[in-house]
Homo-oligomer: A and B are copies of this chain.
Amino acid sequence: MDASAEVDHLAAERSAARFDVEAMKVAWAGSRHAVEVGDRMARLVASDPVFRKDNRTMLSRKDLFKDTLRKAAHAWKRIVELRLTEEEAGMLRLYVDQPGYVDLHWGMFVPAIKGQGTEEQQKKWLPMAYKFQIIGCYAQTELGHGSNVQGLETTATFDPKTDEFVIHSPTLTSSKWWPGGLGKASTHAVVYARLITEGKDYGIHGFIVQLRSLEDHSPLPGITLGDIGGKFGSGAYNSMDNGVLRFDHVRIPRDQMLMRLSQVTREGKYVHSDVPKQLLYGTMVFVRQTIVADASKALSRAVCIAVRYSAIRKQFGSQDGGPETKVLDYKTQQSRLFPLLASAYAFRFVGDWLKWLYMDVTQKLEAKDYSTLQEAHACTAGLKAVTTSATADAIEECRKLCGGHGYLNSSGLPELFAVYVPACTYEGDNIVLLLQVARILMKTLSQLTSGKQPVGTMAYMGNVQYLMQCKCAVNTAEDWLNPVAIQEAFEARALRMAVNCAQNIGQAANQEEGFYERSPDLLEAAVAHIQLVIVTKFISKVQQDIPGPGVKEQLQNLCNVYALYILHKHLGDFLATGCITPKQGALANEQLGKLYAQVRPNAVALVDAFNYTDHYLGSVLGRYDGNVYPALYEEAWKDPLNETVVPEGYHEYLRPLLKQQLKLSRL
């Protein structure tokens, strides 16, 4: 049921809000147009029975996979029939909300060919991909190799006699392992392998390899293909055919090497093109930007469920049998939930800013200006790491905030968690990414002495003299509402942690050894830097003109909640580096409590502004109308165990036990 439900159990909550929800929807979505398209696509999906997903956790692996194939085909049919724009099609896929091969086809296969293929290759392969005449995936990781791409073992050896590459899996650990869409659906893959020609190993390159017959879908000779097995959760990513792939000397034409950056000639010479390597970073910025945007989506769904349910659920606090207190009114609930609500908005806005950064980087790359590339790379890698880790933890926290019922699949939260957590690992393990950020921080610091001014999100590091000795001016709790005070405290904390690391590394016998020894501290410094970026971008956002009654005020509140929550959570950092005093820390915490009280009456409306349909939320607890209990009750009876009153197995395993006839029975 959607907003059209007859009784709205959350009506009182909604009318208590002190801002215009419709205007907030625009602020969240980015534009009125985005709200409108999202709305239309969400309803299109929700109203189509093929896209139902309430039974997803009850399907067997095979049925779930078949259901994914059906939905993908149906979505494509609708996209074609309705002549949807690229934007609309993307939204439609989002609301179908089931991982499947199309994600990799559009998200990895097509971009890989676009980014690494020559114009000729693009002309040949993209039209087929655009029409789904072929289905592609992205075969990079191997059984024994994930984060370290340079360690991949698959080989692509050029054979000048036949003008072909021979793709081969020399070991068990070189089996391609994890690529989504590989196990069952894809006909083609971009395969990453060590290019060997003239007896020399030129490292990892991409190759377009056909995997399955376009006639009967059987694997081509020399190719072994399968699914790698069940994954976390009941439904979750089990709709995806993450696959294993082994090559036994499989031959492909030379022109299926992706040759935009380097080529192998007919004679087997390895040559670089004049296209700068840096272009690849642009793609990475793009992909990670979408991951940050996805973090805000996943987090906001979990928060929406937890906030609505917390406004329905009552517990304790009754006097003489009177009504109990809504759990949302408890300070402990608020202090756990509202920071996550604020984080959802924070990640949304930093994600919007990353979109801008991607365009900026792209323009600069086209102008062969690489001056901001490293900083942009650090920033996107770090934001990917920090937002995905925080989101995974936050979804689970929202589940716990829903008490026992959050553990039911019908709450939607177990699935949301299980389907989300791989984001912490894919596209760069978060720890590996944060160490990359730390490396760039250390480099930036070391270059300060030679007068090189840091740029973009690292510009504050140029202010090192001031930030190393500045004292926080906060005297009252209200002083913490001043964005200048917040910004400076976060800058000083991040810089001082980085400087501490640099000094400690400097004392080591050599830099590399020092970096290794101090890597746990470097992780913390990297997180501090990225949290500064998020706070900074949120502050910039709320300093802009934001239309709609009360909207800007709410976002200012949430911005302060986010910043002061991070400050409280990482108080040790701020105190250890002397950025603030214990007294100032206590004032921040006091102000945080006051901010929660201001968020409280607006909480339900703030999650309404995400504009999610009940279909997309997929949660009995998060229903728009708040009619939770009858829905929970109804949902329970759908479980297959309830098909019979007396369970299967009673006669074999319960009755003999109860009748004390177990010894006679053969089990």
- Chain A residues near B (Cβ < 8 Å): 50, 57-58, 60-62, 65-66, 69-70, 72-74, 76-77, 80-81, 131-135, 141, 143-148, 151, 172-173, 175, 178, 183-185, 187, 201, 214, 216-219, 225-234, 237-238, 241, 244, 314-316, 318, 321, 324, 330-332, 335-336, 396, 400, 403-404, 406-410, 414, 417-418, 421-422, 424-426, 429, 431, 435, 516-521, 523, 568, 570-578, 582, 585-586, 589, 593, 629-630, 632-633, 635-643, 645-650, 652-658, 660, 662-663, 665, 667
Contacts and interface: CB of A to CB of B under 8 A. Distances in A.
Contact of A172 (B69, B70, B629): B629
B642 A226 contact: yes
Contacts of A521: 589
A554 to B, nearest CB: 22
B410 A425 contact: no
B232 A641 contact: no
A633 B172 contact: yes
Given A131-B660, A409-B230, A404 B146 contact: yes
A188 to B, nearest CB: 11
A576 B575 contact: yes
A335 B404 CA distance: 32
Contact of A658 (B132, B141, B233): B132
Contacts of A226: 636-637, 639, 641-642
A414 B233 contact: yes
A413 to B, nearest CB: 8
A161 B422 CA distance: 63
A591 to B, nearest CB: 13
Contacts of A232: 233-234, 407, 409, 414, 417-418
B653 A72 contact: yes
B629 A227 contact: no
Contacts of A435: 332
Contacts of A629: 143-144, 172-173
A321 B356 CA distance: 39
A233 B233 contact: yes
B396 A425 contact: no
29 contacts: A61-B639, A62-B641, A65-B641, A66-B649, A69-B654, A70-B652, A72-B657, A73-B653, A73-B656, A73-B665, A132-B657, A132-B660, A151-B324, A178-B404, A217-B646, A226-B642, A229-B639, A230-B639, A232-B417, A233-B418, A237-B407, A331-B516, A332-B520, A332-B523, A568-B572, A570-B572, A575-B582, A576-B586, A577-B582
Nearest to A425: B404
Given A216-B646, A230-B408, 5 more contacts: A66-B648, A74-B667, A151-B324, A185-B647, A228-B408
Contact of A244 (B227, B230, B321, B633): B633
Contact of A234 (B233, B568, B648): B233
A50 B151 contact: no
B241 A234 contact: no
Contacts of A408: 228-231
A74 B657 CA distance: 10
Copies in the complex: 2
A502 to B, nearest CB: 15
B229 A638 contact: yes
A231 B403 contact: no
Nearest to A330: B519
A203 B287 CA distance: 59
A230 B576 contact: no
B582 A578 contact: yes
Contacts of A217: 646, 650, 654-655
Contacts of A50: 667
Contacts of A73: 652-654, 656-657, 662, 665, 667
A315 B151 contact: yes
A192 to B, nearest CB: 16
A48 B135 CA distance: 45
Contacts of A638: 229
Given A70-B667, A425-B403, A58 B230 contact: yes
A429 B147 CA distance: 38
B183 A641 contact: yes
A173 B403 CA distance: 15
Contacts of A314: 144
B151 A519 contact: no
Contacts of A144: 314, 629
A58 B396 CA distance: 24
A517 B233 contact: no
A146 B315 contact: yes
B585 A315 contact: no
B645 A410 contact: no
